[in-house]
Amino acid sequence: MSAWRLVITEPLDGAANMALDEALLLSRLRGAGPPTVRFFGWAPPTVSLGYGQAMDGRIDLEAAWRLGMGLVRRPTGGSAILHEGPERELTYSVVAAAGDFPGAETLLETYRWIGAALAAGLRALGAAVDMVSAKPSDPAAMPAFCFARTGSYELEIGGRKIAGSAQRRQGSGFLQHGSVMLAADPDRLARVFPGERDPLGGMTTLEAALGRRPSFDETAERLAEGFRQVHGLALGPGGLSPDETALADSLARDKYRTPGWTREGRAPGWPRSTVGVPTAGA
């Protein structure tokens, strides 16, 4: 099993965050970078769209703009998430390739492998987390809001979703994103997702489950320890290489900040299939 890198970054805007994760994936596919677990936040708060999600009016983008939120399209599949910043949410990403752990080449096994580590970390915080079993995916039934539906090997507390995930695979490698809810503002969620009768109806937060709100740093520490304990990873702190930083800057500028990518998943000079096939989740 390869040595793993733990990256914890300061909050970035949507384009910088998504560009950084794609750079980590491309670096791993080229054999230049190690498998990586990253924990990060967002500044400003940002709505992230799933790779293939249509801007069809189910998300009130004008309301999001009035609230000072950013907008970005992820390279991963699934539905939209409102990332409220590190005081209310922790986002994780995992980048790996075949051989980095048993089953890394299999979609559902990667969901299960990552979910088991996340569950252990959340239980260490005191949360009574359950991991759901494999569930069939129906793209036609995909809601606009990620937390309105629980997918295969995602995490629940008392039947309500606490963490949503989505993945993208290319060749022997994959990138998986996920969002762990520390707290939530129902009024802001309702304004951004007006089609949801009750945005909190199918989800919960660590604050609600624990009676306290764990910090971003505490949650990141417990989740990292979950990966170490469940899978025996030598997960140590690490930074980005100069090549990864340069690639992330290029992707942010020429892809993730462009209107074509945000609106349609297309950007000048970057083919639609730059990082492979998105898979449903979130």
Indicate which residues carry an active-site annotation: 146
Dump the DSSP string for 253-269.
Answer: IIIITSHHHHHHS-BTT
Element (H, E) at 181: strand 173-181
E strands along 4-159, which residues? Answer: 4-8, 36-40, 46-49, 70-73, 81-83, 89-97, 129-131, 155-157
Report the residue count for the chain.
282
* C-alpha distances out from residue 206 to 48, 156, 188, 233, Å: 21, 11, 18, 25
Q: Is 147 helix (H, G, I), strand (E, B) or coil?
A: helix
